[in-house]
Amino acid sequence: MMIKREKLEKSRIVIIHHNDADGICSSALFISLLKKFGNFPVSIFSPKYIEVDTEVMQQLKNEDYDLIVFLDLPNSELNKFERDYLVIDHHPPKTEHKQMIFDENHCSSYLTFKFCSTYLNFSKYAWIACVGCLADKDLNGFEELKEIAIQRNKELTEEVLNTMVHFISSARILAEEGVRYALNSLLEAAESGLPTTILGSTPNSEKLVELKRKSIIERNYWLSKLSEIAIEHDKFTFVRIRSNLPIQSYLAGTLANLNQDKICIVINEEPTKDYAMVEGRTRIDNFDLGKIFREVCKELNSSGGGHKKAAGAKILKSEVENFIKKVIECDSQ
């Protein structure tokens, strides 16, 4: 046992998990274990991009906790937290960690399931790990755990499990709100012992279905306004929207698919907030959008970053014009 049971029962725990299906399933498994021990995390974070972003680091400064659990997220800056921590991950780590469960041949959900099983019989939750395994293509892990899952829930055919993968995977395009509903759906279904209820029959999965439905309508509305609101500049398309729904990443993805030779950046100035959420997507190769967002956000003293083809930022509404200007400047350097 890597961590004493007593510690899992008594510690104030923060969970930071990747926002994809494997990360969400890992988190649901770990939280289910804590619940069995009469505990619950004090905070749960699901950063968009693999490295824990500066915003999460900032928020953690104000948190009161004594153990931090990283699921499906590699991190080289763990020492910055100056707390006890545990890493469960299958991405090769950049640095050695004292308390780390790592196996490149399995996904994080599988590893988390095995970790939980060292404390108690966890077979009731095997189906959650199956969803994570399928999502991350850990087929050996999947075959092994499916045997356990199917003994309890005969309805869990591969087809049903694949439907669950799509349901959970699609949550992250609806930002933290979508991820929270997906995680809670898994917890609700785990509690009741009825796995298929995650597909829209638990309170949180109903909310996720509803959020998806509204988001499609909202995205289509802004698509219809595109000719009026798009700001074209060389290879960039900037689109400023005002939506109460977290559709910036959904819309940016759609635009990038429709305009394969463009870098599509959606800026959502949510009416009730003083900051804007930005998401950029592109299909162009040899372009590093994450690097541009990181550099521009550093200059603006805000948080942002990502990968070559997908990046995000959170900026003050008063900085939107400046942000657009700096992205264009940064690219032409």
DSSP assignment of 128-147: HHHHHHHHTT-HHHHHHHHH
C-alpha distances (whole Å) from 277 to each of 4, 31, 71, 171, 247 are: 41, 29, 25, 17, 10
Q: Which long-range contacts (CB under 8 A, 24 or more apart) does 146-152 make?
A: 148/123, 149/123, 149/195, 151/123, 152/123, 152/124, 152/126, 152/127, 152/193
Q: Which residue is nearest to Mn ion (CB)?
A: 22
User: In the bound complex, what is the minimum distance in angstroms from residue 233's beta carbon to Mn ion?
Assistant: 36
Closest CA to 100 of 111, 109, 110: 111
Segment interacting with Mn ion (CB under 5 A) among 115-123, 135-143, 164-172, 246-254: 135-143
User: In the bound complex, what is the minimum distance in angstroms from residue 27's beta carbon to Mn ion?
Assistant: 11
Q: Contacting Mn ion (CB under 5 A), which of 136, 218, 279, 319?
A: 136
DSSP assignment of 144-166: HHHHHHHHH-TT--HHHHHHHHH
Contact pattern for Mn ion over residues 85 through 114, marking x by CB under 5 A: ----------------------xx------
Using CB atoms within 10 A of its CB, is residue 89 exposed (0-12), middle (13-18) or buried (19+)?
Answer: buried
CA angle 177, 197, 162 (to 5 degrees): 85
Q: Closest CB to Mn ion among 68 and 107? A: 107
Q: How far apart are CA 329 and CA 333, in angstroms?
A: 6
User: In the bound complex, what is the minimum distance in angstroms from residue 313's beta carbon to Mn ion?
Assistant: 24
Q: Closest CB to Mn ion among 108 and 248? A: 108
Residues within window 21-40 making contact with Mn ion, judged by CB under 5 A: 22
Q: Is 275 helix (H, G, I), strand (E, B) or coil?
A: strand
User: In the bound complex, what is the minimum distance in angstroms from residue 120's beta carbon to Mn ion?
Assistant: 24
User: In the bound complex, what is the minimum distance in angstroms from residue 291's beta carbon to Mn ion?
Assistant: 24
Residues within window 59-78 making contact with Mn ion, judged by CB under 5 A: 72
Q: Closest CB to Mn ion among 52 and 239? A: 52
Contact pattern for Mn ion over residues 266 through 285, marking x by CB under 5 A: --------------------
User: In the bound complex, what is the minimum distance in angstroms from residue 183's beta carbon to Mn ion?
Assistant: 15
Q: Per CB under 5 A, does 138 bind Mn ion?
A: no
Q: Closest CB to Mn ion among 169 and 322? A: 169
Contacts with Mn ion by CB under 5 A lie at 22, 72, 107-108, 136
